[in-house]
Amino acid sequence: MSRYIINGGHRIYGRTKIQGSKNSVLPILAATVLVRGTSVITNCPEITDVDATIKILRHLGCRVTREKNTVIVDSSVIEKSDIPDDLMREMRSSVVFLGAIIGRTGKASLSTPGGCEIGLRPIDLHLDAIQRFGVNIHEEYAKIEFEAVKPLEGVNIALSFPSVGATENIILTACTAKGTTVITNAAREPEISDLADYLNSCGARISGTGEGTIIIEGVSELHPVQYKVIPDRIVAATYMAAAAMTHGKITLSGVVPAHISPVMPVFEEAGCDISISSDGLTLTAPPYLRSVKTIRTMPYPGFPTDMQAQIMAMTTVCHGTSVVIETIFESRYKHVSELLRFGAKIRADGRMAVVEGVNSLTGASVIASDLRGGASLVLAGLAAQGTTVVDDIRYILRGYENMSGVLSSLGCDIVIEERNSADG
């Protein structure tokens, strides 16, 4: 297992360009299956979730080439309509291919996506919605088969929860269905708008993204385009937290400030100064961080669950007591036990965690067990006195492009130690 070796205590100082959004590029690459021809997707981050997505595209019959941050997908010929079991296990968000595969081929087959490190991750909202388009669904223990018994027809769908993935799958299924689809209580994340912007540039007719109701007028076909993915708001906020914890100053270029607005009040309550200019977004940390009364994760535009672990790491070195409430996933506190190894003072009970700030953290040997929890351990290592080893960083490499290179360029002392599996 590869690992990071970090010598903490270095202030972050400098600027960095933020990578393309993982949670945008995955559904957009899946959406290329709906488009006959060659799509050119730019600003794709070099992360392992994109590698896994490319494997699925090639399995389906697409010809895919990649030149650094550009992925070129020729989906003229689609030969299969299943997502292989190993790839479903490698990346459960592969479920977002469902709508695109059904929209293109009229059928699909995937293995039941297991839970993951942060919760059970059911897909009932996806299945209930897709069934309403006239798709027969046959569930067994390990496999789910889908078959459109007639041409897909638009429907009205009221989501009981604004699920990001379910909203994306409904949009993908509805794009080339006959008639109009209306989604109420739809997710409002910027990644949904980015998916819609890509599809609309291909000739789709989607409106209302970013609000609670999305309307999709089905079209007969979509044409390929070149499209640039939005920047990753969670990666941006992660590096903001790193600057805050090391009492540094960071300028992020290429960010969309509006996408970061849900986390700004938390950093400002902790005493950070945030300014926005043509140069980008700059965060200047205070000499001492103040505690944050309550961080409650909510669907966008609320505080993002994907920043919960990283902000919890920040509150461990804030003066005073902070309270974190995780309302989206039922077990997204696996990073707590590892943060305690740095000398943090955290009490987690159910969906609530109470963090009592300490004067300083001490370097520790810790193990990442999920993407954002792993990032929070790196942040703690940057702030801690002494050396930290973060093991099993494959989780982090799923979503952060060259994290050690970026942090080193900002003044941190962090190196990646490649270890093959034989080293354990």
Q: Exactly one of 44, 62, 116, 202 is catalytic; which is it?
A: 116
Closest distance of CB 147 from ligand EPZ, Å: 20
Q: Using CB atoms within 10 A of its CB, is residue 420 exposed (0-12), middle (13-18) or buried (19+)?
A: exposed
d(CA 45, CA 410): 19
Give 17's strand partners: 253
Closest distance of CB 73 from ligand EPZ, Å: 18
d(CA 205, CA 380): 45
d(CA 291, CA 304): 19
Closest distance of CB 124 from ligand EPZ, Å: 5
Nearer to ligand EPZ, 125 or 368 (CB): 125
125-91-1 Cα angle (round to 5): 145
Instruction: Decide: helix, strand or coil at residue 144.
Output: strand
Nearer to ligand EPZ, 285 or 353 (CB): 353
Closest distance of CB 286 from ligand EPZ, Å: 28
Nearer to ligand EPZ, 77 or 258 (CB): 258
Nearer to ligand EPZ, 290 or 351 (CB): 351
Nearer to ligand EPZ, 115 or 286 (CB): 115
User: Is the separation of the CB atoms in 93 and 26 below 8 Å?
Assistant: yes
Closest distance of CB 352 from ligand EPZ, Å: 16
d(CA 131, CA 189): 24
Nearer to ligand EPZ, 143 or 150 (CB): 143
Closest distance of CB 240 from ligand EPZ, Å: 16
CA 79 to chain centroid = 29
Comparing CA positions, the residue from 210, 387, 379 lying closest to residue 301 is: 210
Q: Which residue has the tokens 């906020």?
A: 237
Q: Which residues are near ligand EPZ by CB under 6 A?
A: 22-23, 26, 93, 119, 121-126, 161, 163-166, 187, 305-306, 328-329, 371-372, 399
DSSP 70-131: EEEEE-S-----EE-HHHHHH-GGGGGHHHHHHHHHSEEEEEPP--BTTB----HHHHHHHH
Nearer to ligand EPZ, 76 or 184 (CB): 184
d(CA 36, CA 33): 7
CB contact burial 336-354 (16+ within 10 A = b; e otherwise): bebbbbbbbebebeebebe
User: Is the separation of the CB atoms in 16 and 409 below 8 Å?
Assistant: yes
Q: What six digits make up the tokens of 26?
A: 């995955």
Active site residue 44: no
Please report, for residues 56, 254, 373, 392, the alpha-carbon distance to residue 347 in angstroms, rounded to integers and kept in the order given.
41, 37, 16, 25
**By Cβ distance, which residue is nearest to ligand EPZ?**
165
Closest distance of CB 51 from ligand EPZ, Å: 14
Q: Which residue has the tokens 């007028």?
A: 217
Active site residue ranges: 116
